[in-house]
Structure formats: structure tokens, C-alpha cells
Amino acid sequence: MGASYYRNSYKMSGVCIFVNKNLNFMSINLRKFSHKRDIKAGAVKFAVNSVNICILSIYRAPSGNFTLFLNKLEVILNLLHNNNTQLIICGDININYLIENNKKNPLYFLLASYNLTSTVYFPTRIQNNAATAIDNIFINTSKFDDYAISPIINGLSDHDAQLITINNIHLKVRVNTLRFIRKFNKQGIFEYGIKLSFETWDNIFENNNINSMYNNFLNAYLRTFYSCFPLKKAGYKGKW
């Protein structure tokens, strides 16, 4: 067992990661970020073919506070994220990826900001003639573009297991690419505040669909942000 977290006060919930005994790894202690039914997390880090990989296992109870789950997860991602390390997240998040819902999109946007994409689009739990995909594996598909994923029906749980095979774990060729940056200054920040103050937000408050409200808000927010802090060329840099 490379990493684990559970609480005796809550039955049938927790996370653990088992590692092949021939693989050198480092366990990452995330106990201080785990919180009751909201989120439980454990992580290990190791290297394969000179590629650093961090596997994060998480669990979210259906009755947990979803906002707190997102906040805690973001803190964990900030801690683990590294340009030299590929992050893989797996676990039971109790968010059904087979249908659109008010929890799927916020999680999608958070993980997308770390270049992480869902890979499970088949049922992972079938009960009472209802099929859901509430277990998932998230990877950076721009780095791991050659992968295969399939369910494993093992009869040990009301959830099926998922097996992901990544076939191209190797070092990328380093190339020089044009680099862009955003410059922040007092004038831009002042202009940003002024432009936001003139937004009417009518397409948000007059909408009854929470997903549309969020998307309209995000579009207005980013449109103003990009106009006040445009990308500018900043020379070349090495990139894998």
C-alpha cells in the first residue's frame, strides 16, 4: 500500500493506492486536506522511463459539500501540479459523467485548467436498472495520447473497476516555441474594474438554466479580462 486515507467514524469510504513492490515511489501525505464526507485523498509519485508521474486517488461522498470538495481539490492540485510531473487522478467522485448535471461542469472547468480530461464514458455502477459513470480517471491527453480504457466487472462491489493502459510513457522531444505572456499593471487593473462595472449581467440573471448562467458569466468575465490583459510575445522558450 503506497498511500491511504480513511476515517473510522465513516464506514464504506476512503482511498488507497497499491504500488508494485519493484517500483520505487514516494508517498505524499494529504491527510490535512481530507475532510469528513467532502473529500478523501491520497497520492504517490514515481518515475517510469524518466517520466515523473503522480497518481492522486480521491473519494467524494454523495452527501458531501460539493463546494468544499472543489475548493479542497484545487488546493491539492496546486500542491501537486508541476511542469515536470504528469498528474493522473482516479477515484469515486459520485458525479455522473453520462449526463449533464450541475456538478459535472464546475469540476470539468477546474480540471481543464490543469490540462486534465475525463477518460471514462461508460457505466461504472449499474443498480436498479440505472447506469451511472460516477468513477473516473483524469489524465493529460496531450501528453498521454495513446491510451486504452475498459471496465473490469469483478463482482466484488456494486461499482465496476476501470483499467487504463498508457502506451506512450516516454520523454517528449524538446523544441523551442514562441512564448506569450500577459502583463499586469495598475492601469490595466483599473480599466478591468471599470469595464466590469459597466456589465449589466442581464443574460445571467434572466436565465433559469444554471449551466447557461455560469457560461454567460464566464464568457463576459473572460472577454473583459482578455481585452484588458492581452497576450504579448515574449520571445522563445524550450518546451517538451
DSSP string of 33-89, one letter each residue:
G-BTTTBEEEEEEEEETTEEEEEEEEE--TTS-HHHHHHHHHHHHHHH-BTTEEEEE
Across the range 107-123, mean pLDDT stands at: 92
User: For the stretch 159-190, what's the b/e string if a residue is b when 16 or more beta carbons lie within 10 angstroms of its beta carbon?
Assistant: bbebeeebeebeeeeeeeeeeeeeeeeeebee
* pLDDT higher than threshold 90 for residue 107: yes
pLDDT at 206: 82
Instruction: Tell me the pLDDT band of 18, cut-offs 50, 70 and 90.
Output: very high
Most confident of 59-73, 166-180, 194-208, 209-223: 59-73
Among the residue ranges 98-102, 114-118, 210-214, the one predicted with the least confidence is 210-214
Percentage of the chain beyond pLDDT 70 is: 91
Instruction: Tell me the pLDDT band of 69, cut-offs 50, 70 and 90.
Output: very high
CATH homologous superfamily of 3-166 equals: Endonuclease/exonuclease/phosphatase (3.60.10.10)
Higher pLDDT, 166 or 174: 166
Torsion angle, CA of 22/26/30/32, rounded to 10 degrees?
A: 130
| Residue ranges covered by each domain of the chain | 3-166, 175-239
pLDDT at 212: 83
Across the range 89-115, mean pLDDT stands at: 92
Model confidence pLDDT, tens digit, residues 123-137? 998 888 889 999 999
